[in-house]
Structure 1
Amino acid sequence: MKLLYDIGLKAYQAAIALASPFNEKAKLMRQGREQQFQKLKQAFAGNQAPVAWFHCASLGEFEQGRPVMEAFKEVHPEYKILLTFFSPSGYEIRKNYPGADYIFYLPLDSEQNAKQFLEVTEPELAIFVKYEFWHYYLQELQQRNIPILSISAIFRGDQVFFKPYGEFNRNMLRRFTHIYTQNKTSLQLLKRIGIAQASIAGDTRFDRVLQTAASVKTMPVVEAFAAGKEVFMVGSSWPADMEVLLPLIQKYNQRIKFIIAPHEVNEASITAVMQGLGDVSAIRFSKVNEADAAEYNVLVIDNIGMLSSLYSYGTYAYIGGAFGKGLHNTLEAAVFGLPLFFGPKYSKFQEAIDLVDIGCAFPVNNSQELLQVFEEVHTTPGLRQSITSNEKTYVQEQAGATAKIMADVSALLKKNT
């Protein structure tokens, strides 16, 4: 398995190099890792402060790790924060995040890279968010006696860790000082394979969305666009989602305002959304002003960073991704108590399962099902208000993972000093 792991890493590196002239994401990954150790050495030259290293695969994991990073900085201001990303969708959006002192791509996993990275950065603590299990980094951290934590971790029985041939991957888990899981099922799976250094803390995203909801940005253009009507938010949509949504938009756009935030915010994606709407009165966010906004029935968001605040203007929300690789972030909408709709691929997301179980979210397989369930929520007296109340209660009850983790982190650092 180790040989296959090494071959897979080299193949992945080669694929990035081959794809970079044609694929923007691959290009960013290659460019971001060029002369990386030289940049690291320059950044860390002369640093005398202790370092806490947080690693996130991408943007979603960053949002999970952010409450812990910010709480850590508040409790331990003497530490510098090193934040690394694997994916451009995290790094490129958060490379100027003010809560971290150093922000880099993580060098690809290898024995040499792991040794060099830790020699340069010298972290006293490493925190991996949700996913990301890198053999050489974990091995080197353990050999240097650096505490390693995994937070907001979630596991499923079909993962390689729990297969008869998964011993190599199980060894990665054994290297963690402690693993904080999102739920009981994950903890039970770990216990089953002998991982004792684990406990349930919950999902730190609940803490993050509550922080966001308490400090939403006011958007005069969006307020003018809504014009006092109900607003149907569409977050992180893909073309497959838009196909399902179009009949609903066509039926209700004279009575309900629609705000669409595509997952891919580039010219081709935005143009496709606008063209797909046909003769529905729609305008791009960058092309409208406050005085004219109310004239349109659909507002298409063509920039990044607004979605979490946009949900505060919603009455209902559709979350994209669940007709493709998997559902995007439902909690950003759930914190505002919006009835949620999404496609069928949500089984890997505990919060989505919970929201469906308590009757606050509605998975659909096609346009007809979406129209039917929306009509029920839209017209049944008191149903939307009941959903809002239950949903907000659920989010509040799930909060607190950050405080649990930070209590242990502070004790761990004290023990190691």
Structure 2
Amino acid sequence: MLFLYTIGLWLYALLLRLAAPFVPKAAQWTNGRRGLLAHIQQALQAETAPRVWFHCASLGEFEQGRPLLEVYRQQYPQHKIVLTFFSPSGYEIRKDWPGADYIFYLPLDTAANTGAFLDAVQPRLAVFVKYEFWYYFLTGLHRRQVPTICVSAIFRPDQVFFKPWGGLFRRMLGCFTHIFTQNEASTALLRQLGIRQVSTAGDTRFDTVVATAAAPPKALPILTAFGADGTPVLVVGSSWPEDITMLTPALQALAPAALRVLVAPHELHETGLRQVEALLPGQVLRYSQATPETAATARILLIDSIGLLRELYRYGTLGYVGGAFGKGLHNTLEAAVFGLPLLFGPNYHKFQEAKDLIQLGGADAVKDAEELETALKFLVYNPEQRQPIVEKNRRYVLTQAGATAKIMRWLDGELSLRAARSNPS
């Protein structure tokens, strides 16, 4: 199985190299790893402070781990944080994030790369966020007795860990010093495998969105002007072309005076931006071209700038979260913390918070454009039905916060124990 795992990774890297001339993300993945280990070694060779390693697959996992990174930085300012990403969508956006001291791509998971990377970084602690399981890195950390944790993990019975042929991946789980899961069902599944170093902490994303909602609003005069007349505002977050296609009939059916729309595409490609503009020709205004005066009369404001999504929901009345008509739903908590009644597509079952919100009556999953139009019209034309949902969604998010504090208590104890062992009195 290890042979197949290794061959599979090499084939994956080869395919990305072949695709690089034609696919921008493949080019970023490939180019970002040229000379990577030498770059890491050079960057760290003169560093003498203790180092900790945080790894995130992509931007979503970074946001999930961000509250832990920020609290760790506050409590251990003498430690240097090394942050790695597997995907360009994380690295390219956060490569200059000031909360980490060193930010790199993750080298391909091979025995040689692992040895060179760990020799260069020499981590006192390693933290993997949610989904990243790399055999050579995990076994390398385990051999070096580096405390290694996984946070905000979620497990399902259909995953490879629980299959008869999943022995290699079960060995990876055994390399973690501790696994913090999002829910009790995940904890129970791991304990059935004999994994005892596991506990339920919850999802650190709740801490992120609660902090966002509690922070003073940023000065965004264009967004303030857009919703100033009191017309309900639908925030379409992390949309893909499939989402726009499904939304089109509903937006065409609703009168301009009934609903205004903020659209934040998941990827800011020109083709996708033009697709949104084609929804209602002449009624779409790009954020980069807007002024408070023009935004005040626009029907649809298209967000073509990075980094605004979490703030957008503050200006909304309703929320539509993209991705669930494709590979999977994006972050619903960023909208739920502001109390927005939520709509999304049918592919949401891997996301516990989406299932919870549906059960609470704070969200609705629709299977097609017709259902979406019906649900959206109901929320627009029945404002008295929205307020109970607002309170439910806010309360749900607030009661789920606290995972970061639970994980930090464990880390404080583990680091203190390791320090005592290395410096016996």
TM-score by length of 1: 0.98
2:292 matched to 1:270? no
Name 1:286's counterpart in structure 2. Answer: 288
Equivalence for 1:48: 48
Q: What residue in structure 2 maps to residue 219 of structure 1?
A: 220
What residue in structure 2 maps to residue 171 of structure 1? 171
Is 1:258 the counterpart of 2:261? The answer is yes
**How do residues 334-345 of structure 1 correspond to structure 2 at under 5 angstroms?**
334-345=336-347
- 8 Å CA contact 1:128–1:149 kept in 2: the answer is yes
Q: Is the 1:82–1:101 contact (alpha carbons within 8 Å) kept by the matching residues of 2? A: yes
Match of 1:382 in 2: 384
Structure 2 unaligned residues grouped into runs of 5+: 420-425
Q: Distance in 2 between matches of 1:160 and 1:376?
A: 41
Q: 4+ residue runs of structure 1 moved beyond 6 angstroms? A: none
SS in 2 for 1:295: coil
The 3-state SS of whatever aligns with 1:97 is: coil
Q: Which amino acid aligns with 2:323?
A: G
Measured in 1, the distance between the counterparts of 2:408 and 2:323 equals: 32
Contact kept in structure 2, 1:20 and 1:27, CA below 8 Å: yes
Q: 1:66 maps to which residue?
A: 66
CA distance in 2: counterparts of 1:191 and 1:233, whole angstroms: 40
Of the candidates 234, 238, 252, which is equivalent to residue 236 of structure 2?
Answer: 234
Displacement of 1:313: 0.1
Q: Which moved more, 1:352-361 or 1:44-53?
A: 44-53
Give the residue type in structure 2 aligned to 1:188: A
User: Alignment length, in residue pairs?
Assistant: 416
**Residue type of the alignment partner of 1:163:** K
Give 3-state SS (helix, strand or coil) of 1:103's partner.
strand
Q: Counterpart in 1 of 2:195? A: 195
Deviations 1:129-185 (A, max 9, x none): 001100000011000000000000000100010011111110000000000000011
User: Offset of 1:380 from its aligned partner?
Assistant: 3.6
Q: Alignment partner for residue 406 of structure 1, among 381, 400, 408? A: 408
Letter in 1 for 2:409: A
Residue 3 of structure 1 aligns with which residue?
3
Instruction: Quote how far apart the aligned CAs of 1:279 are.
Output: 3.0
Select between 283-292 and 135-144 the one with higher mean Cα deviation. 283-292
Cα distance in 2 for partners of 1:230, 1:217 equals 21
- Distance of 2:366 and 2:306 partners within structure 1: 27
- Alignment equivalent of 1:366, drawn from 368, 380, 385: 368
- How far is the alpha carbon of 1:211 from its aligned partner? 1.2
Deviation at 1:295, TM superposition (A): 2.0
**Distance of 1:271 and 1:369 partners within structure 2:** 25
Query: Counterpart of 2:268 in structure 1: which amino acid?
Result: V
Q: How far apart, in 2, do the equivalents of 1:302 and 1:192 lie?
A: 47
Aligned 8 A contact 2:156 2:186 in 1: yes
Inter-partner Cα distance in structure 2 for 1:292 and 1:16: 43
For the pair 1:18 / 2:18, whether they are aligned, the reply is: yes
Amino acid at match of 2:412: S
One-letter amino acid of the counterpart of residue 23, structure 2 = N
Partner of 1:105: 105
Tell me the amino acid that sits aligned with residue 300 of structure 2: V
1:333 aligns with 2:329: no
Task: Determine the C-alpha separation between the residues in 1 that align with 2:224 and 2:383.
Answer: 26
Residue 230 of structure 1: how far off its partner (Å): 1.4
Q: How does 1:78-157 map to 2 (within 5 A)?
A: 78-157=78-157
Given that residues 280 and 297 in structure 1 are in contact (C-alpha distance below 8 angstroms), is that contact kept between their aligned partners in structure 2?
no
CA positional deviation for 1:97 = 0.6
- C-alpha separation in 1, matches of 2:44 and 2:23: 32
CA distance in 2, matches of 1:23, 1:374: 36
CA distance in 2, matches of 1:288, 1:78: 44
What is the root-mean-square deviation in Å for CA atoms of aligned residues? 1.0
The structural deviation recorded for 1:385 is: 0.5
Counterpart code for 1:269: G
How many Å apart are 1:217 and its aligned residue? 1.9
Measured in 2, the distance between the counterparts of 1:207 and 1:293 equals 32
Mean alpha-carbon deviation: is it higher for 226-235 or for 169-178? 226-235
Residues 280 and 298 in structure 1, CA contact (< 8 A), matched pair in contact too: no
Name the CA distance, whole Å, in 2 between partners of 1:250 and 1:94. 37
TM-score, with normalisation over the residues of structure 2?
A: 0.96
The one-character-per-residue Cα deviations of 1:267-312 (angstroms, maximum 9, x if unpaired) are 121112212x133511111111112222210001111110000110
- Worse overlay, 127-136 or 219-228: 219-228
Name stretches of at least 5 consecutive residues in structure 1 with no aligned partner: none
Q: 243, 246, 249: which one pairs with 1:244?
A: 246
8 Å CA contact 1:114, 1:140 repeated in 2: yes
In structure 2, distance between residues paired with 1:378 and 1:230: 7
Distance 1:54 1:158 in 2: 27
Aligned counterparts of 1:354 and 1:371: Cα–Cα separation in 2: 23
Superposed CA deviations along residues 305-334 of structure 1, whole A, max 9, x for unmatched, are 100001100000100000000001111101
Q: CA separation in 1, counterparts of 2:280 and 2:124? A: 56
Letter paired with 1:205: R
Question: How many Å apart are 1:379 and its aligned residue?
Answer: 3.4
Question: Matched residues in 2 for 1:368 and 1:64: separation?
Answer: 33
Partner SS, residue 92 of structure 1: helix
Q: Distance in 2 between matches of 1:186 and 1:97?
A: 31
1:375 CA displacement = 2.7
